Structure 1
Amino acid sequence: MATFREAIQAKQHLVKRWKKMPGVVGIGIGFANGKDRKGGACIVLYTVNASASVKRSCPRCVSVRSVKAARRVAVPVRTITSGPCCCHVQVRDRAFARQYRGRIRPVIAGYSVGYPGASGTAGLIVQSASRSAQRYLFSNNHVLNKNNTGGYTETIQPGGADGGRSGRDRIGRLYRFVRLRKNGVNYIDAALSIPTANQLLAPRYATVGVVRGHVRSYGVGNRFKKVGRTTGRVSGVVESIHTDIDVDYGNHAGLGTIRFRNQTVIRGTVAVSLPGDSGSVWLTESNYAAAVNFAGSADGRRSIAFPIQWAMQAFGIRVARAAGSRGQMRTNGRKQKNPMRTQPLSAAQLGTIVTKGARKANRRKQKRKGLH
Structure 2
Amino acid sequence: MATFQEALLAKKHLVKRWKRMPGVVGIGIGYANGKNKKGGACIVLYTVNASAAVTKRCPSCVLVKRQEKKAHVSVPVRTIASGRCHCHPAARPLATNYRGRIRPVIAGYSIGHPGGSGTAGLIVSRGGQRFVLSNNHVLNRNNTSGFTETIQPGGADGGRSGRDRIGRLYRYVRLRKNAVNRIDAALSIPTSNRLLAPRYATVGRVPGIVRSYGIGRRLKKVGRSSGLAWGTVQSIRTDIDVSYGNYGGLGTIRFRDQTVIRSSVPISLPGDSGSVWLTAGNFAAAVNFAGSADGRTSISFPVVWALQAFGVGVARATGSTGRSVAKAKRARQNNARTKPLSAAELNRIPTKKAAPKRQLGRKKTDR
Q: Same fold (TM over 0.5)?
A: yes
Distance (whole Å) between structure 1 residues aligned to residue 139 and residue 309 of structure 2: 17
Q: 2:234 aligns with which of 213, 235, 239?
A: 239
RMSD: 1.3
Secondary structure at the counterpart of residue 5 of structure 1 = helix
Q: Equivalent residue for 1:355?
A: 351
Q: 1:316 aligns with which of 300, 311, 314?
A: 311
Q: Equivalent residue for 1:109?
A: 107
1:31 counterpart = 2:27 = no
Q: Equivalent residue for 2:139?
A: 144
Kindly indicate whether the alpha-carbon contact (under 8 Å) linking 1:294 and 1:303 is maintained by their aligned counterparts in 2.
yes
Paired residue type of 1:49 = N
Kindly indicate whether the alpha-carbon contact (under 8 Å) linking 2:109 and 2:119 is maintained by their aligned counterparts in 1.
yes
Structure 1 residues 276 and 324: CA distance shift in structure 2, 3 A? same
1:365 Cα shift?
Answer: 6.2
Q: Cα deviations across residues 97-152 of structure 1 (Å, max 9, x unaligned)?
A: x2100000000000000000200000000012xxx100000000000000000000
* Unpaired stretches in structure 2, ≥5 consecutive residues: none
Distance (whole Å) between structure 2 residues aligned to residue 291 and residue 176 of structure 1: 19
Secondary structure at the counterpart of residue 189 of structure 1 = coil
Q: Equivalent residue for 2:46?
A: 46
Q: Equivalent residue for 1:273?
A: 268
Moved more, 63-72 or 325-334: 325-334
Q: 2:130 aligns with which of 118, 128, 135?
A: 135
1:179 Cα shift?
Answer: 0.1
1:335 Cα shift?
Answer: 4.8
1:305-344 matched pairs, under 5 angstroms: 305-332=300-327, 334-344=330-340
1:72 counterpart = 2:68 = no
Q: 1:190 aligns with which of 185, 192, 200?
A: 185
Distance (whole Å) between structure 2 residues aligned to residue 79 and residue 247 of structure 1: 18
Distance (whole Å) between structure 2 residues aligned to residue 116 and residue 307 of structure 1: 28
Q: Cα deviations across residues 305-349 of structure 1 (Å, max 9, x unaligned)?
A: 000111111000100011202100112573533211111111211
Equivalenced residues, count:
363
Q: 1:126 aligns with which of 121, 124, 127?
A: 124
1:362 Cα shift?
Answer: 0.5
Paired residue type of 2:140 = N
1:225 counterpart = 2:220 = yes
1:134-173 matched pairs, under 5 angstroms: 134-173=129-168
Secondary structure at the counterpart of residue 225 of structure 1 = strand
Q: Equivalent residue for 1:259?
A: 254
Q: Equivalent residue for 2:21?
A: 21
Kindly indicate whether the alpha-carbon contact (under 8 Å) linking 2:331 and 2:337 is maintained by their aligned counterparts in 1.
no
Distance (whole Å) between structure 1 residues aligned to residue 320 and residue 65 of structure 2: 49
Paired residue type of 1:354 = P
Q: 1:289 aligns with which of 284, 291, 295?
A: 284
1:298 Cα shift?
Answer: 1.8
* Unpaired stretches in structure 1, ≥5 consecutive residues: none
Distance (whole Å) between structure 2 residues aligned to residue 80 and residue 232 of structure 1: 26
Distance (whole Å) between structure 2 residues aligned to residue 367 and residue 12 of structure 1: 46
Kindly indicate whether the alpha-carbon contact (under 8 Å) linking 1:7 and 1:43 is maintained by their aligned counterparts in 2.
yes
Runs of 4 or more above 2 Å deviation: 332-337, 364-368
1:366 Cα shift?
Answer: 8.7
Q: Cα deviations across residues 142-175 of structure 1 (Å, max 9, x unaligned)?
A: 0000000000000000000000000000000000
Q: Equivalent residue for 2:85?
A: 85
What is the TM-score normalised by the length of structure 1?
A: 0.96
What is the TM-score normalised by the length of structure 2?
A: 0.97
Secondary structure at the counterpart of residue 5 of structure 2 = helix
Identical aligned residues as a percent: 69
Paired residue type of 1:33 = N
Distance (whole Å) between structure 1 residues aligned to residue 173 and residue 291 of structure 2: 20
Kindly indicate whether the alpha-carbon contact (under 8 Å) linking 1:249 and 1:255 is maintained by their aligned counterparts in 2.
yes
Paired residue type of 1:56 = K
1:235 Cα shift?
Answer: 0.3
Kindly indicate whether the alpha-carbon contact (under 8 Å) linking 2:331 and 2:338 is maintained by their aligned counterparts in 1.
no
Secondary structure at the counterpart of residue 275 of structure 1 = coil
Distance (whole Å) between structure 2 residues aligned to residue 195 and residue 94 of structure 1: 26
Paired residue type of 2:15 = V
1:346 counterpart = 2:350 = no
Q: Cα deviations across residues 37-73 of structure 1 (Å, max 9, x unaligned)?
A: 0000000000001111101110000000011311000
Kindly indicate whether the alpha-carbon contact (under 8 Å) linking 1:337 and 1:343 is maintained by their aligned counterparts in 2.
no
Distance (whole Å) between structure 1 residues aligned to residue 331 and residue 137 of structure 2: 34
Structure 1 residues 90 and 367: CA distance shift in structure 2, 3 A? closer
Kindly indicate whether the alpha-carbon contact (under 8 Å) linking 2:212 and 2:331 is maintained by their aligned counterparts in 1.
no
Structure 1 residues 366 and 323: CA distance shift in structure 2, 3 A? farther
